[in-house]
Amino acid sequence: MPTDKTAPTEITGAKKSRAATLTRKTADRAPAKAVSAKARSKSSLKADLAPERIAAILKILAKAYPHAKCALQHHSAWELLVATILSAQCTDARVNIVTPSLFRKFPTPADFAAAALPEIEAEVRSTGFFRNKAKSISGAAKLLLSAFHGEVPRKMEDLLTLPGVARKTANVVLGVAYKEAVGVVVDTHVLRLSRRLGLTRNTAPEKVEQDLMKTIPQDHWIAFSHEMIHHGRENCIARKPRCADCPLEPLCNSPDKTWSTH
Ligand code: SF4
């Protein structure tokens, strides 16, 4: 989930076909309008953050992605923590390929703590930045054993003491494994969509999270992140968002829009 790489730009046959379908749909529905500066000028922070607009966005997202959940496979808070560390600059799909054999080889934090770094590195090499990731996982396992009775802590401040863990990873673990809405997961998708939807004007993930925590009701924080990540992967993609197929389009004034009804 987490900070995924932008999807490969290579156009596969399936993508070509989807693009062709979209082009047909777009042509059928209405001509594209220029949306850049004009659209942005319509947008004001106050209007963007109006409670009724936020409620409408949340309702549309919930309807569009009723089963949205964390895509990282895991069986415990520890496995989720490791998977989330590995997901930095890597796709969840790649992490899900790596983790089954990783957790077979090192079933517990104690096994990771006892392993030599090269052993862990060899297992996680294909996720990229493997030396740093192996070091973080090994360090986190050792700290769990020495300071937290071998358990992944349930408090944000404790999680942030673990190597390789910043707020995004901590929020994933707290929200998904412990169902604790302490913050909002801000990965590359949440950040991009939040800006496109006018929910923040910031670019630093920590500031975007603070903005979202002020705007989104706390009981939506966990689901909101999952839904935004799904929407970012499936629809509001980085390079050419599929605005003609987007249920949020009537509420979106992003200059990045590729199609607009308003
Ligand atoms: S209308 Fe386009 S830019 Fe706006 S949220 Fe939808 S896909 Fe993203």
Task: Tell me what pLDDT residue 4 has.
Answer: 35
CATH number where 123 lies: 1.10.340.30
- Backbone phi and psi for residue 141, each to the nearest 5 degrees, phi listed first: -60, -45
Residue 49 domain-assigned? yes
Specify whether 107 is located in the same domain as 123: yes
What atom of ligand 1 comes closest to residue 260's alpha carbon?
1
100: buried, middle or exposed (CB in 10 Å: 19+, 13-18, 0-12)?
A: exposed
Same domain, 146 and 128: yes
- The rounded distance, in Å, linking the Cα atoms of 242 and 48 is 21
pTM reported for the whole predicted model:
0.83
Residue appearing with tokens 């308003």: 262
* Count of alpha carbons within 13 angstroms of residue 19, beta-carbon side: 12
CA distance 143 to 221: 28
Is the residue at 205 inside a domain? Answer: yes
Residue 249, ligand 1, Cβ within 6 A = yes
Residue reference for tokens 């079933």: 107
* pLDDT higher than threshold 80 for residue 237: yes
**89 found inside a domain:** yes
- What DSSP line would sit under 40-88, residue for residue? HHH--HHHHT-HHHHHHHHHHHHHH-TT----S--SSHHHHHHHHHHTT
Q: Is the beta carbon of 243 within 6 A of some atom in ligand 1?
A: yes
Residue pair 18/104 in contact by the 8 Å Cβ criterion: no
Judge whether 258 lies within some domain.
no
Measured in Å, residue 15 CA sits from the centre of ligand 1 at 18
The answer to the question of residue 16 being in a domain is no
Q: Is 159 in the pocket of ligand 1 (CB under 6 A)?
A: no
Atom 1 (ligand 1) nearest CA: 249
**Number of compact structural domains in the chain:** 2
Instruction: State which residues form the domain around 116.
Output: 77-151
Res. 28 pLDDT band, cuts 50 70 90: very low
Q: How far is the CA of 80 from the centre of ligand 1 (A)?
A: 30
- Quick: pLDDT tens for 39-77: 554 558 889 999 999 999 999 999 999 999 999 999 999
pLDDT tens, position by position, 70-100: 999 999 999 999 999 999 999 999 999 999 9
